[in-house]
Amino acid sequence: MPRLAIIGAGITGLSTARSLAAHPAFGAASLCLFDKGRRPGGRLASRETEFGSFDHGVQRALLGEPAAQIHGAGTLRAWPAADSLSESPSWIAEPTMNRLAQAWSQGLDCRCSVTVTGLARDGHQWRLGFDREQDDALFDQVLLTIPTPQALALLGTAGIENAALSAVRYQPNWTVMWTPSIPLPPTADHWAGTANDPIAWLAREDLKPGRVGPPRLTIQASAAWSIEHLERPADEVAARLISIAAEVLGLPADARPIYASAHRWRYAFVEQPIGVAAFELAPGLYYASDACLGSNVAQALSAGEAAAALIGANIDNA
Ligand SMILES: Cc1cc2nc3c(=O)[nH]c(=O)nc-3n(C[C@H](O)[C@H](O)[C@H](O)COP(=O)(O)OP(=O)(O)OC[C@H]3O[C@@H](n4cnc5c(N)ncnc54)[C@H](O)[C@@H]3O)c2cc1C
């Protein structure tokens, strides 16, 4: 039975794993996912605090109804208020966005808090290096689903370069989670900025479908603001974005936080995707992620499915 390691348990990695788990030559027992995060999901991220939960990565999945049924794992519900000009409706996972990733990872060998630090050819197999001891290190196939700068660093340990991966550029994003000390006035559940606004998106977490807890907001800075403040300390970023958000929402200047935290996504959104859904870097070594087709849930799912098809076909032809 061929053994496959998937590096990265974000949407792409989990999508590949779910597809291959149903492949006759694989099955879930042949797969092992490694992720440096504490939970699967990657940018499909949520933080649960005593001051309420925050979706500080993906806000909504834009999927057609059939795709939402296939991928929803019983967690998705419609968020009609967030429907934009997009052709697809908006979906939100309950009780947080990250629970979708947790549902997808059920029944898979998904090892979190493990960073893959090295990669080397070993006969016909690939040997992985880790930041902590693992019982498995040798795999017949390896799929990288991590952002391209991290993939290139890992490939470098095996002496592999790749021009398509090197050409990819990402926009960063600063996101702030804020529970204010004063009641919030009734507002829409989200607000989207225009091109020149420092804030790109504001969401009232407590008003999203299926959410409970105190009034609270997730604030996403624009790409330009995030780039300008990329290396500033998180506390300073939180204070600045809260002050801008208070002004946008017409809140008094003393709307101090009882909870505030800023998260920096260094690789948030791909500027120009590669344009190929998944590809082989070397024999038995593959790449797929949202860098392939575009930075959104639907495209990451597609990249993962394409990687599964590519790996499955190579096994069938072997
Ligand atoms: C703030 C923000 C808001 C967004 N909002 C939306 C939205 O509303 N709708 C939408 O459709 N899309 C949204 N996106 C985009 C969406 O999140 C991404 O396109 C998608 O999640 C990418 O999934 P992925 O699996 O390709 O990559 P990732 O989610 O980045 O997964 C890669 C995984 O690899 C792991 N990893 C990296 N290096 C290593 C290593 N060496 N060893 C082990 N593990 C490693 C990481 O921990 C991570 O879990 C948003 C993104 C951000 C940042």
- Between these two residues, 213 and 316, which has the higher pLDDT value? 213
> Is the beta carbon of 42 within 6 A of some atom in ligand 1?
yes
pTM score of the predicted model = 0.97
Q: Determine the distance separating the centroid of ligand 1 and the alpha carbon of 271, expressed in angstroms.
A: 14
Which tokens sit at 198? 């420092």
Indicate if the pLDDT at residue 190 is higher than 80: yes
State mean pLDDT over 140-160: 98
Pocket test for ligand 1, best of 36, 58, 220, 266 (most atoms within 8 A of CB): 58
With tokens 């409706």, the residue in question is 89
Of 52, 76, 102, 48, nearest to 206 by C-alpha is 52
Name residues whose C-beta falls within 8 Å of residue 86's C-beta, 6 or more positions apart in sequence. 62
State mean pLDDT over 262-288: 98
Indicate if the pLDDT at residue 7 is higher than 70: yes
DSSP-derived 3-state class of residue 161: coil
pLDDT at site 85: 65
> Is the beta carbon of 90 within 6 A of some atom in ligand 1?
no
Q: Determine the distance separating the centroid of ligand 1 and the alpha carbon of 238, expressed in angstroms.
A: 22
Q: Per this entry, what is the length of the chain?
A: 318
For 199-239, the pLDDT digits (tens) are: 999 999 999 998 999 999 999 999 999 999 999 999 999 99
Atom of ligand 1 nearest to the CA of 265: 53
For 105-120, the pLDDT digits (tens) are: 999 999 999 999 999 9
Kindly list the structural domains of the chain, giving each domain's residue range(s) and its CATH number in brackets, ordered by start: 4-51+97-168+272-317 (3.50.50.60), 170-270 (3.90.660.10)
Indicate if the pLDDT at residue 4 is higher than 90: yes
State mean pLDDT over 83-103: 91
